[in-house]
């Protein structure tokens, strides 16, 4: 068999560990492995590179992706899907492992459905917003980086009696904010799914100061819509244009929130936007292990010809689910997780 591997969408720690874990058993089974460059763009444009034992050596701790990535959507390129099918056939590839989030795997689900395309998926994203799996790989590393940042901000916040607003990624879900906020002991956490108002956030901060604590940490997810008692709600974006999957570029809510907090509470407020720092670098041990288990599962699914499936984590078990189920809707933060965070507000 000739097995293709593709990494699409935003990069995240653990992608290379998956590539390694797909390739190793595939070599042992006598299969060839070929890397598709730059996500779906590589299949549209026909950009491939052979992967042998030498290429996959030393990958386990390495951040980013050796294959490169893109946010290309073949369904938005004129003749894109036909080019994908054509290049795939020309290369003599028998199966594709697509490692990606809702967008990359959404394409995989659709092309499988429409063309019986031999693809299996691996759930990747720091946002942890894919359904049908408990966790995506990359998330643990992002939470670890954000938690460390919150710890560091604590000491400087305390020295200066300041409110520190920390903006984290997560797109339209607040998983990174909630988990790093709980782990870092945040005093208020604002997420898209449970939008408390700016006035409520300020009340929590004031309550805390009345208790004698003269500094506070506020974690805000980039997708939180600024919400006010008046009923006004506002999404802060970096630009209005959308990408090929219809996403706007989020970011900047932290600055507006900080201004609002300073104005309403009178407390000196600073803001830190963690940005792509939380997506770069080496994966945590947990992500290395999860990525490895996912990669092995994907290699098995390919070997058994079980296409249209995605490796998933349920409890402590690696299982497989349908790509359609995994991409049907976003996995949002449920109320009971937010309740854990809220128990420590103020
Ligand atoms: O989906 C992962 C993610 O990091 C989101 O949290 C964030 O909104 C987006 O990607 C940023 O994308 P880009 O790399 O295009 O700036």
Mean pLDDT, the chain cut into blocks of 10 residues (346 residues total):
98 98 98 98 98 98 98 98 98 98 98 98 98 98 98 98 98 98 98 96 97 97 98 94 95 98 98 98 98 99 98 98 98 98 97
At residue 205, the pLDDT reads 98
Tokens found for residue 162: 């300041």
Is the Cβ atom of 127 under 6 angstroms away from ligand 1?
A: yes
Atom 2 in ligand 1: which residue has the minimum CA distance? 10
Nearest to 191 by CA among 178, 204, 181: 178
At residue 340, the pLDDT reads 98
Burial of residue 244 (number of CB atoms within 10 Å: 0-12, 13-18, 19+): middle
Cα of 10 from ligand 1 centre, angstroms: 6
Is the Cβ atom of 293 under 6 angstroms away from ligand 1?
A: no
Instruction: Tell me the pTM.
Output: 0.97
Atom 15 in ligand 1: which residue has the minimum CA distance? 10
Cα of 12 from ligand 1 centre, angstroms: 10
Is the Cβ atom of 42 under 6 angstroms away from ligand 1?
A: no
Give phi and psi for 115, each to the nearest 5. Answer: -125, 10
Atom 16 in ligand 1: which residue has the minimum CA distance? 249
Is the Cβ atom of 250 under 6 angstroms away from ligand 1?
A: yes
Ligand 1, atom nearest to 250 Cα: 8
Q: Is 128 left (phi over 0), alpha (psi -120 to 50) or beta?
A: left
Q: Ligand 1: which of 127, 175, 245 to mutate, most ligand atoms within 8 Å of CB?
A: 127
Give every CB contact of residue 212 below 8 A, 6+ residues apart in sequence.
none
Atom 3 in ligand 1: which residue has the minimum CA distance? 10
At residue 279, the pLDDT reads 97
Nearest to 5 by CA among 213, 298, 260: 298
Helix axes 15-28, 285-303, angle to 10 degrees: 40
Whose tokens are 């604002």? That residue is 190
At residue 240, the pLDDT reads 85
């Amino acid at each position: 068999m000739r097995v293709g591997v593709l990494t699409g969408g935003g990069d995240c720690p653990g992608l290379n560990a998956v590539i390694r874990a797909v390739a190793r058993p595939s070599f042992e089974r006598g299969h060839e492995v070929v890397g598709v460059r730059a996500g779906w763009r590589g299949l549209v444009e026909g950009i491939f590179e052979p992967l042998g034992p030498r290429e996959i050596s030393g990958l386990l701790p390495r951040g980013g992706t050796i294959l490169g990535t893109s946010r290309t959507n073949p369904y938005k390129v004129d003749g894109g899907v036909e080019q994908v099918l054509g290049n795939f056939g020309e290369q003599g590839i028998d199966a594709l492992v697509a490692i990606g989030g809702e967008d990359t795997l959404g394409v995989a689900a659709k092309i499988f459905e429409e063309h019986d395309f031999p693809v299996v998926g691996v759930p990747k994203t720091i946002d942890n917003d894919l359904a049908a799996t408990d966790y995506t790989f990359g998330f643990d590393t992002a939470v670890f980086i954000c938690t460390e940042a919150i710890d560091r901000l604590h000491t400087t916040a305390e020295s200066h009696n300041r409110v520190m607003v920390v903006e984290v990624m997560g797109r339209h879900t607040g998983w990174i904010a909630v988990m790093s906020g709980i782990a870092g002991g945040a005093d208020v956490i604002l997420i898209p799914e449970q939008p408390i108002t700016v006035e409520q956030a300020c009340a929590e901060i004031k309550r805390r100061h009345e208790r004698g604590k003269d500094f506070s940490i506020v974690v805000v997810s980039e997708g939180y819509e600024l919400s006010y008692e008046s009923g006004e709600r506002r999404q802060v974006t970096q630009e209005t244009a959308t990408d090929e999957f219809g996403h706007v570029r989020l970011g900047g809510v932290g600055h507006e929130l900080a201004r609002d907090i300073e104005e309403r509470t009178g407390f000196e407020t600073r803001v830190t936007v963690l940005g792509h720092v939380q997506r770069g670098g080496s994966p945590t041990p947990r992500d290395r292990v999860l990525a490895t288990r996912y990669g092995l599962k994907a290699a098995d699914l390919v070997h058994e010809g079980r296409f249209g499936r995605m490796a998933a984590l349920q409890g402590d078990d690696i299982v497989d689910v349908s790509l359609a189920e995994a991409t049907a809707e976003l996995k949002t933060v449920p109320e009971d997780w937010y309740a854990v965070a809220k128990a420590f507000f103020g």
